[in-house]
């Protein structure tokens, strides 16, 4: 428990609306999107960078640990307090100002507490958008702290690529505000400090404001479902599509038959698009899009996609077994339902991996072959982003499986998957979910000693106070 005088002092700094201490009010901030249920000493909700600075400064001076929390949609226990009841939550959700669109510069200056959907809603009239496409609806600060990627990474990159500037509060005694809020695209005048606060889960400072690059919103798209001739041929298909389409190609997503079947079974609004209702073993969602309006005399994108697929189909070693161009909203609805569907199959044990693009299918084949020998009755329901190397490697176990009562079971499973993914296939154990308590142990194991020493040094010179859920 935290002393009452600290609560009083923090109320003075954050205001009545800015500090929550009642259990009922705090519950939502203590509960994670997938795994967690912790206990917060308090939830501080500053409405300005200055308030955030004052709160952080007070906490550092009084050795009170803070966990920054943005939309709390993360999946690695990076934004909720532990069970001690001694950590305070620093919520960004009132930090929604400013909102300054610079139309000519194609940039926006926004509060880190703004939700992605609110940002894009407010941008709609301008014809611009922030091009990170996610299943969840996080707030901007958390997107920056985890460097989210998503389904259109292939075209637009990750958050890192689209951040021009940041305002950051450091966890030092002064609650120093670092103004890195440039709105320039080309600026090489020293260390690009903002990079240290992107993807590092709030360990080095709390992002309160950002300047984001915006892109012209797509005005046309065409989407197809592709069935590869074999798992081996997925890489060939990707290269063939990129050769023919270049940067038209805005998504190349992989979906295992198991994940697709789970979605079709559990999300009743979906229509089964496959011939005879038979779900193939592996399916690709390919999207092409343009930011330009349809123009008279221009081939519609559906026709472009069909023509490209036909040409690939006619190759002697055609990497395609089947393909059809369909309604984008229907196909994307299937893609977006995979996560929900898989959850209904049983207890989900999820991994967010990435590989060199050519290594994804070999990794999946290896796991399919080896799983029964290592762990019986574990179903692989993977899906992900073949175009950028990301795989949501989901494992499902029946909810009544007695092994779930044994904490070693999940630990052993995680151990095996990470070992194969990282050590054997040179992959990443966290592609786009970043780091939280959930993967701290693997971060410790796979970070070379020298980089851990550098991170400790960096922590000392930026935010020596206790901040966040993890240590690099």
Per CB under 8 A, contacts with a second copy among 346-405 are: 354-358, 385, 388-390
From 67-75, 151-159, 256-264, 392-400, give the range in contact with a second copy by CB under 8 A: 151-159
Say how many CA atoms lie within 13 Å of 220 toward its Cβ: 14
Binding range to a second copy, per CB under 8 A, among 179-187, 224-232, 315-323, 399-407: 179-187
Instruction: Tell me whether residue 80 or residue 213 sits nearer to a second copy (CB atom).
Output: 213
Does residue 147 belong to the site contacting a second copy (CB under 8 A)? yes
Residue 82 vs 215, nearer CB to a second copy: 215
Counting contacts by CB under 8 A, is residue 302 touching a second copy?
A: no
Size of the chain in residues: 472
CB 432 within 8 A of CB 352: yes
What is the rounded distance in angstroms from the CA atom of residue 318 to the CA atom of residue 305?
16
SS (H, E, C) the chain: CCCHHHHHHHHHHHCCCCEECCHHHHHHHHECCCCCECCEEEEECCCCHHHHHHHHHHHHHCCCCEEEECCCCCCCCCCCCCCCCCEEEEECCCCCCCEEEECCCCEEEEECCCEHHHHHHHHHHHCEECCCCCCCCCEHHHHHHHCCCCCCHHHHCCHHHHEEEEEEECCCCCCCEEEECCCCCCCCCCCCHHHHHCCCCCCCCEEEEEEEECEECCCEEEEEEEEECCHHHHHHHHHHHHHHHHHHEEEEEEEEHHHHHHHHHHCCCCCCCCHHHCCCCEEEEEEEEECCCCCCCCCCHHHHHHHHHHHHHCCCCCCEEEEEEECHHHHHHHHHHHHHHHHHCCEEEEEEEECCHHHHHHHHHHHHHHHHHHCCCCEECCEEEHHHCEEEEEEEECCCCHHHHCHHHHHHHHHHHHHHHHHHCCCECCCCCCCCHHHHHHHHHHCCHHHHHHHHHHHHHHCCCCECCCCC
Assess 290 for contact with a second copy (CB under 8 A).
Answer: yes
C-beta closer to a second copy: residue 216 or 466: 216
If one asks whether residue 304 binds a second copy (CB under 8 A), the answer comes out as: yes
Least gap, CB of 160 to a second copy (angstroms) = 7
Closest contact distance (angstroms) between CB of 26 and a second copy is 28
Shortest Å, Cβ 2 to a second copy? 30
Q: Is 462 in the site for a second copy (CB under 8 A)?
A: yes
Does residue 173 belong to the site contacting a second copy (CB under 8 A)?
A: no
Q: Is 130 in the site for a second copy (CB under 8 A)?
A: no
Q: Give the residue with the Cβ less far from a second copy, 47 or 76.
A: 76
CB of 111 to a second copy, least distance (A): 20
Q: Does residue 450 bind a second copy (CB under 8 A)?
A: yes
Residue of 117, 230, 275, 299 interacting with a second copy (CB under 8 A): 299
Query: x/- site string to a second copy, residues 200 to 229, per CB under 8 A?
Result: x--------------xx-xx----------
CB of 408 to a second copy, least distance (A): 24
Q: Among residues 14, 36, 17, which one has the least CA distance to residue 25?
A: 17
Exactly one of 104, 278, 369, 405 binds a second copy (CB under 8 A); that residue is 104
- 317 binds a second copy per the rule CB under 8 A: no
For a second copy, the closer of residues 190 and 276 by Cβ is 190
Q: Please, which residue, 183 or 401, has the CB nearer to a second copy?
A: 183
Of the pair 200, 339, the CB lying nearest a second copy is at: 200
Q: Among 51, 158, 209, 253, which residue sits at the site for a second copy (rule: CB under 8 A)?
A: 158
Residues 229-248 close enough to bind a second copy by CB under 8 A: 235, 238-239, 242-248
Q: How far is the CB of 182 from a second copy (least distance, A)?
A: 8
440 counts as binding a second copy under rule CB under 8 A: no
Distance CA 425, CA 360 (A): 9
**Residue 314 interacts with a second copy (CB under 8 A)?**
no
Identify which range of 152-160, 252-260, 327-335, 370-378 contacts a second copy by CB under 8 A: 152-160
Site for a second copy in 56-85 (CB under 8 A): none
Candidate ranges 80-88, 116-124, 269-277, 435-443; the one touching a second copy (CB under 8 A): 435-443
């Amino acid at each position: 428990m935290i002393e009452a005088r600290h609560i009083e002092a923090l109320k003075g700094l954050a205001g009545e609306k800015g500090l929550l201490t009642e259990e009922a009010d705090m519950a939502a901030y203590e509960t994670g999107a997938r795994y967690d249920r912790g206990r917060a000493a308090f939830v501080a909700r500053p409405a300005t960078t200055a308030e955030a600075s004052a709160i952080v400064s007070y906490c550092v001076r009084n050795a009170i640990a803070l966990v920054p929390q943005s939309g709390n949609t993360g999946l690695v226990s990076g934004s909720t307090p532990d069970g001690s009841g001694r950590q305070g939550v620093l919520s960004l959700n009132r930090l929604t100002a400013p909102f300054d669109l610079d139309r000519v510069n194609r940039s926006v200056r926004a509060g880190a507490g703004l939700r992605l959907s609110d940002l894009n809603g407010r941008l709609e009239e301008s014809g611009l958008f922030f091009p990170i496409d996610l299943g969840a609806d996080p707030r901007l600060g958390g997107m920056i702290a985890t460097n989210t990627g998503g389904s259109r990474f292939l075209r637009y990159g990750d958050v890192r690529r689209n951040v021009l500037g940041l305002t950051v509060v450091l966890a030092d005694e002064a609650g120093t505000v670092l103004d890195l809020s440039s709105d320039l695209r080309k600026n090489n005048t020293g260390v690009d400090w903002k990079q240290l606060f992107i993807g590092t889960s709030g360990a080095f400072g709390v992002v309160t404001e950002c300047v984001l690059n915006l892109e012209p919103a797509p005005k046309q798209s065409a989407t197809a479902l592709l069935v590869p001739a074999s798992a081996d041929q997925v890489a060939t298909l990707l290269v063939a599509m990129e050769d023919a389409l270049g940067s038209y190609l805005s998504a190349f997503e992989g979906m295992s038959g198991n994940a697709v079947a789970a979605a079709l079974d559990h999300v009743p609004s979906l229509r089964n698009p496959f011939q005879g209702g038979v779900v193939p073993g592996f399916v690709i969602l390919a999207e092409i899009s343009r930011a330009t309006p349809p123009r008279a005399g221009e081939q519609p994108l559906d026709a472009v996609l069909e023509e490209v697929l036909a040409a690939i189909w006619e190759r002697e070693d055609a990497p395609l077994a089947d393909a059809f161009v369909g309604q984008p909203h229907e196909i994307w609805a299937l893609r977006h339902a995979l996560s929900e569907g898989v959850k209904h199959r049983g207890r989900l044990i999820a991994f967010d991996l990435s590989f060199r693009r050519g290594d994804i299918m070999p990794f999946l084949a290896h796991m399919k072959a080896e799983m029964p020998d290592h762990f019986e009755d574990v179903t692989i329901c993977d899906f992900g982003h073949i175009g950028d190397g990301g795989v949501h490697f989901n494992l499902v176990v029946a909810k009544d499986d007695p092994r779930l009562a044994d904490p070693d079971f999940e630990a052993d499973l995680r151990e095996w998957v990470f070992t194969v993914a990282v050590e054997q296939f040179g992959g990443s154990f966290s592609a786009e979910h970043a780091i939280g308590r959930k993967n701290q142990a693997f971060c410790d194991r796979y970070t070379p000693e020298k980089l851990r020493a550098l991170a400790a040094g960096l922590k000392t010179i930026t935010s020596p106070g206790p901040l966040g859920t993890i240590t690099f």
